[in-house]
Chain A
Amino acid sequence: MRQFDETLQFIDNLDHADSPQAVCKLLVGVTGNFGLTALMAGTVPRAGTPRTRQKSHVLLCDWPSQWLERYVEKNYVDRDPVVLYMRQSPTLVQWRDAAQKLQIGPGGREVLGDAGQFHLKDGFAFPLITLEGTMVMVSLGGEDVDISPEGQGMVSLVSTYAIGRAMQLYHSEAIFDQRPDLTPREIECLKWAAEGKSEWEISRILAISEHTSEKHLLNAKRKLGAVNRVHAVAEAIRLGYIS
């Protein structure tokens, strides 16, 4: 109960934090008790995201600045076992388990070895999914981590509140793509268009008129801001409506 009161107090304090840096400091103040002294939270960049754009994915970060520079400079995000694991199966994972389960090669080992140089020996990461379906990864680590499963539950709960507060401070609208609202029918038509089907074929498959399938695709094209059908399909894939 006493610990829970502290958790509530922490959440109250978050409401008074007036910058992401202040949020970060508060959160590390709590996680530090478990040896989790380093924090990184942000949206996961797609593989191959240019280095210049990687930092814009960061929501909260208190990594040693030299480690952050090195991470970006060496493009570690595309090799970091924790990031790779999170892209593949978005669930809570210990850093060392991620490395083991993915059977990482020299590239991944280099990242972990380098992290160790900056006193980041182990930790854990977990995903959060925003309203828009964007994944935010929270990764916490340190040199001497000691945390029970209950502790992990507490840390992930307070981290969620911290990320929520940071997003309010950043005006999340500016960070996340505002995805257009496609209807289920429009998505269905796009799916078949992605399979190379013509409007007439789509109309047969979905038992609608050719005119209707044409209309769905035109609406989808307009909503996606696409110049033609191929572009619309590409946008729909990029935004995660179809795979």
Chain B
Amino acid sequence: MIYALSTTELNELPELKDAVHRLRHDIFVDEMGWEDLRTSEGFETDQFDHEEAVHHLCMRNGRLAGYQRMLPTTRPHLLTDVLCDLCEGESPRGKNVWELTRYAVAPAYRDGRRGVSTVGSELIAGFVEWGLSSGVDQVIIEFEPMWVLRALQLSFLARPLGYQRTYGRQQVVATLLTFNEQTLEVVRNRRNHHAPVITQGGWDLLACRQAS
């Protein structure tokens, strides 16, 4: 299940908030080598954890299994302010365009596969589902080039925004993915899971759990 939370909502759940920033540090600093983000406390936060960010938390039995953060392109975001050299021309902006950042699957939930894990594909289904219900049909992602192939397999319309460059231990390419209801259908078919993955009124549920 994925809980889509505003930054304010996440701030009110201190344990989960810690888990989110620790996971981000584990994956992006320790695993992928984005040294600029290293902190001595082992929590990663940046200037984009602002009140308009939407945090997608993928939970398994009460534990944080995966995460991604959605940022509006109507204000500064990674492609405009941090990863500018990944974009060759004008970066796409608009209410229907959001940037997906910090996509992360906790190591324990990677199913020992080279492909995309169940949690990983749930996050994909999650952002498509969330987008379609929020008037968003385009997402900018800075990911490893091989994700382009996976995006095409899932019937996203993909277009590069620039050439790949090396960040940390990885090659990264900025890509614009466009999707519609049919994309969601394909993603669900490939996952063999057809029910919605984003919970409605998720925050209350999480708050209850944390309180108990």
A and B associate in one complex: yes
Interface contacts (Cβ under 8 Å), in number, total 88
- Stretch of B15-23, B51-59, B97-105, B152-160 on the interface side: B152-160
A160 contacts B146, CB within 8 Å? Answer: yes
A44 CB contacts on chain B under 8 angstroms? none
Q: Judge if B114 is at the interface, Cβ distance under 8 Å.
A: yes
Which of B118, B146, B162 is most buried by chain A, counting CB atoms within 10 A of its CB? Answer: B146
Q: Judge if A206 is at the interface, Cβ distance under 8 Å.
A: no
A131-B115 CB under 8 A given contacts A4-B88, A163-B149, A167-B153:
yes
Instruction: Give 1 or 0 for each of A62-96: 1 = CB within 8 Å of chain B CB.
Output: 00000000000000000000000000000000000
A131-B114 CB under 8 A given contacts A7-B160, A157-B163, A184-B109:
no
A164 contacts B148, CB within 8 Å? Answer: yes
A240 contacts B148, CB within 8 Å? Answer: no
Shortest beta-carbon distance, B187 to chain A, in Å?
10
Instruction: Give 1 or 0 for each of A121-144: 1 = CB within 8 Å of chain B CB.
Output: 000000111111111100000000
- Stretch of A46-54, A148-156, A224-232 on the interface side: A148-156
Interface residues on A, range: 35 or more
Interface residues of A in 103-135 (CB under 8 A from B): 127-135
B159 contacts A153, CB within 8 Å? Answer: no
B114 contacts A133, CB within 8 Å? Answer: yes
B118 CB contacts on chain A under 8 angstroms? 181
A133 contacts B113, CB within 8 Å? Answer: yes
B114 contacts A240, CB within 8 Å? Answer: yes
A160 contacts B115, CB within 8 Å? Answer: no
Which residue of chain A lies nearest to B121 when distances are taken between CB atoms in the complex?
A: A131
Which of B112, B154, B158 is most buried by chain A, counting CB atoms within 10 A of its CB? Answer: B112
Q: Judge if A34 is at the interface, Cβ distance under 8 Å.
A: no
A150 to B88 Cα, complex, angstroms: 14
Q: Which of B89, B115, B149, B173 contacts A164 (CB 8 A)?
A: B149
Q: Judge if A19 is at the interface, Cβ distance under 8 Å.
A: no
Total number of B residues with any Cβ neighbor in A under 8 Å:
32
B150 contacts A131, CB within 8 Å? Answer: yes
Q: Judge if A56 is at the interface, Cβ distance under 8 Å.
A: no
B146 CB contacts on chain A under 8 angstroms? 127-129, 160
Shortest beta-carbon distance, B171 to chain A, in Å?
8
Interface residues of B in 138-180 (CB under 8 A from A): 145-146, 148-155, 158-160, 162-164, 171, 173
Shortest beta-carbon distance, B59 to chain A, in Å?
15
Q: Which 9 A-B pairs have the closest CB atoms?
A: A133-B115, A164-B152, A133-B114, A4-B88, A132-B115, A160-B148, A133-B113, A131-B150, A128-B149
Q: Can you report 16 residue pairs joining A to B where beta carbons are below 8 Å apart?
A: A8-B160, A11-B159, A129-B146, A136-B149, A153-B163, A153-B164, A153-B171, A156-B164, A157-B148, A157-B160, A164-B149, A164-B153, A167-B149, A167-B153, A184-B109, A241-B111
Residues of B within 8 A of A (CB): 88-89, 108-109, 111-116, 118, 121, 145-146, 148-155, 158-160, 162-164, 171, 173, 190, 192
